[in-house]
Amino acid sequence: MLKYILKRFGSTILVLFGASVLVFFMTVHSGDPLADLRESNDPDAPYQMEQRIRVMDLDQPWYVRYWGWLRGVLGCFYGQCDFGVNREGQQMNSILAGAAQDSLRLVFIATIASIVIGILIGIMSAIRQYSLFDYSVSFIIFLFWSMPVFWVAVLAKDYLAIGFNDWMQDGGHFSWPQIFIISAILAVAIPLVAGGDPMRRVITGAMTFAVSVGALWFFDSSSFATTPRIGGIGIIILSLALAVGLTALISGLNNRKVLYTSLMVAGIGIVAYYATWGLLENPPGGWFLMLGLFALTIVVCVVLARVFGGYAKGQATAVSVITGTLISGLILLDHFMYHWPELISLKARPISTIGSHTRRFTEDDVTWWQVNLDLLTQLWVPTMVLMITSVATYTRYTRSSMLEVARQDYIRTARAKGANERSVTFKHAFRNAMIPLATIVAFDFAGLIGGTVILEQVFNWNGMGGLFVTGLQQVDPAPVMGFVIVTGFVAVMFNFLADIAYALLDPRIRV
C-alpha cells in the first residue's frame, strides 16, 4: 500500500506540472497584456508600459517566465512559497490566501452537506423503489440537475437573501396564511417520506399539520426569528432523542450495550454544555479551541464505546461518534443562536448579497461570534445554490448503486440467514454501494470549484473564481496560475484520497 501511495503521489505531481505548463502557455498567448495602455491617452502611458513590462517580464520568452514562476512555487517544499506578483506589482501570496480561504470554505461546506443529504435521500429512494416517494424524488432531482447555476443563483439571491432580509426587518413574524400554507406543505411532504398505507398517511398528515401550526404559532409569538435559542432543556431533550434514535436506526433498541453507551455519550454532552458555557462565551484561540474540543469529543466517544460496547463495539463506536458529533453541533448552534440578536443589532439586514464578509466585522471591537455569524450568513445563499445541483448527483448515484448492490448474492444470503433489514441495508449494502460514490465525490468537488467561478461573479465574491476571471481578462498569468495550482491540487488530492478509500471500503482492493 505504501508503494502504491507513493506512486500515486508522484503521478499527482506530474499531472499538476503538465497542467501548469499548458495553462501558462495558453494564458500568456491569449491576448495583449499592454492593450489598455496602448489605447490610453494618458501622457504617462509609456512609463506605465515600461513598468508593466518589467514587472511581468514581458521582454522574456514564455518558458523563461514560466521557469521563474515555477521556482517560486517549488519553494513551498521548504516553506518559502512565492506565487509571484500580478501586473500591478502586488504579491500573490496574500491575495491567493484570502481568495482560497473564501472559495474553499464555500466548496467544503457545500460538499459535506450535499454528501450527507444526497446519500440519505438516495438510500430512502432505493429502499422504496417505484413508490410515490421515489417518483417524487426522481422528478425533483432531475429538475435540480437541469437548472443552470447562474439562474438558480439569481433566484436564490432574490428570495433567500433579499426576501429573508425584508422579513427580518418586519420583525420576523408569520401571518396566519403563511402558517397554514407552510403547515399544509409539510402535511403533504412528511407522509410522503414516512410512507405507509393511505389511512396511515392521512393520520400522519393531519398530525403534522396540527403540530406545524402549533409550532409556528409558538415561534412567532416568542419572536424566535430575532431571539432564537435551543436552551438547556432543548439540549437535554434533543441529546437523549439522538442517542435513542441513532441506536434504533443503526443497531436496534434491543442492543442494550449500544443503547447504554449512546446514553452515556448524551449525558456527557449535556454536562459539557453547562461546563463549557463560560469558556465558549469568548473562546480563546477561536476555531482551534473548537477543533480541539471536537477531537476530545471523538476520543471520549471511542473510549466509551470500546469499554462499554461489549460484543457490539463496532456498532457502539459508530453510534457514539455520530451522537457525540451531532450533540457538539447542537451546542455550537445554540451559542450561535444566543449571539444572533447581537448580529441583528449591527446588521438589520443580516444576509448581504455582495461579498463574502462584512468588512467592519473584522475589527478588534467585534466579538468572535459576531464575525463568524456574519461569515455563516454570507455563506448561506451560495452554499444552497451549490447544494441544489450537487445533491442531485449524490442522490441519483446512491440510489442506482444501492439498487445494483441489492441484487447481489450476498444480500440474498444475509436475508436468508435471518439478518434484519436494518443490518442488511447499512452493514451489507451501503458499505459496498459507497465504492463508486468515492469517485463521484472527487469529481464533484472539482466540478463545484468550477461552479464557483460563475457563482462568485453573481455574488461579487473576491474568491478564486474572481481571481481566475480577472487574470484571464488582463492576460496576467500569476492570478490564473494561482487558481490552477490551488484548485488543481485540491482536485487531484481528492482523487488520490478516493483511490485510497477504495481499499478501506473493500478489503479485496489493494492496488
**Rounded-to-integer distance, Cα 250 and Cα 420, Å:** 11
pLDDT in tens, 149-165: 888 888 888 888 888 88
Asked whether 224 and 230 are in contact (CB, 8 A), the reply is no
Which range (319-328, 404-413, 420-429) has the least confidence?
Answer: 420-429
pLDDT on residue 507: 65
Element (H, E) at 133: helix 132-146
Are 366 and 236 contained in the same domain?
yes
d(CA 463, CA 95): 9
Burial of 328 (0-12, 13-18, 19+ CB in 10 A): buried
442 versus 276: which is more confidently predicted? 276
Q: Mean pLDDT throughout 456-471?
A: 82
Domain boundary among 190, 205, 222: 222
For residues 326 and 459, membership in a common domain is answered with yes
Model pLDDT for residues 212-254, shown as the tens digit of each residue: 999 999 988 888 988 898 989 999 999 999 999 999 888 888 8
End-to-end CA distance of the chain: 7
**Domain limit, last residue, from 159, 191, 222:** 222
Tell me how crowded residue 95 is: count the other CB atoms within 10 A of its CB.
18
Tell whether the model's pLDDT for residue 511 goes beyond 60: no
Instruction: Tell me whether residue 218 is in a domain.
Output: yes
Q: Which residues lie across from 309 on neighbouring strands?
A: none
Does residue 8 form part of some domain? no
CA dist., res. 236 & res. 267, Å (int): 8
**3-state secondary structure string across 425-472:** HHHHHHHHHHHHHHHHHHHHHHHHHHHHHHHHHHHCCCCHHHHHHHHH
The three grid cell numbers given for residue 236, joined into one nine-digit string: 437535554
Evaluate whether residue 150 is within a structural domain: yes
Q: Look at residue 215 in the predicted model and tell me its pLDDT.
A: 92
Return the amino acid letter for 100: A
Q: Looking at 156, 189, 222, which one is the last position of a domain?
A: 222
Is residue 110 domain-shared with residue 232, that is, in the same domain?
yes
Same-domain check for residues 447 and 362? yes
- Scanning the structure block, which residue is given the C-alpha cell 442517542? 243
Q: 140-154, 241-255, 439-453: which has the minimum mean pLDDT? A: 439-453
- For residue 27, is it within any domain? no
Any domain includes 25? no
pLDDT of residue 364 exceeding 70: no
**What's the pLDDT score for residue 293?**
93
Q: Are 218 and 276 contained in the same domain?
A: no
Minimal CA–CA distance to 477: which of 70, 76, 48? 70
Question: Which domain range does residue 196 map to?
Answer: 174-222
In this prediction, residue 272 has a pLDDT band, given cuts at 50, 70 and 90, of: very high
150 and 111 in a common domain: yes
Query: Are 203 and 287 members of one domain?
Result: no
**What pLDDT is recorded for position 183?**
93
Residues 130 and 200 in one domain: no
Per-residue confidence (pLDDT) for residue 355, from 0 to 100:
73
In the predicted structure, residue 328 carries a pLDDT above the cut 60? yes
Beta-bridge mates of residue 91: 85
Same domain, 143 and 259: yes
Please check whether residues 146 and 203 belong to one and the same domain. Answer: no
CA 207, 208, 209 angle in degrees (round to 5)? 90
Q: Of 58-67, 71-80, 97-106, 387-396, which one has max mean pLDDT? A: 58-67
Instruction: Please give the mean pLDDT across all residues of the chain.
Output: 85
Nearest to 356 by CA among 465, 491, 234: 465
Q: Is residue 255 part of a domain?
A: yes
Helices marked H in 276-367: 277-281, 287-308, 313-338, 340-346
Count the domains in the chain: 2
What digits encode the pLDDT tens for the residues 483-503? 888 888 887 777 777 777 776
Residues 207 and 315 in one domain: no
Q: pTM of the full predicted structure?
A: 0.82
pLDDT band at residue 331 under the 50/70/90 scheme: very high
Cβ–Cβ contacts within 10 Å for residue 320, how many?
30
Instruction: Write the DSSP symbol of residue 224.
Output: T
Q: Are residues 329 and 408 in the same domain?
A: yes
For residues 166-174, average pLDDT: 86
- Domain presence at residue 292: yes
Inside any domain, residue 272: yes
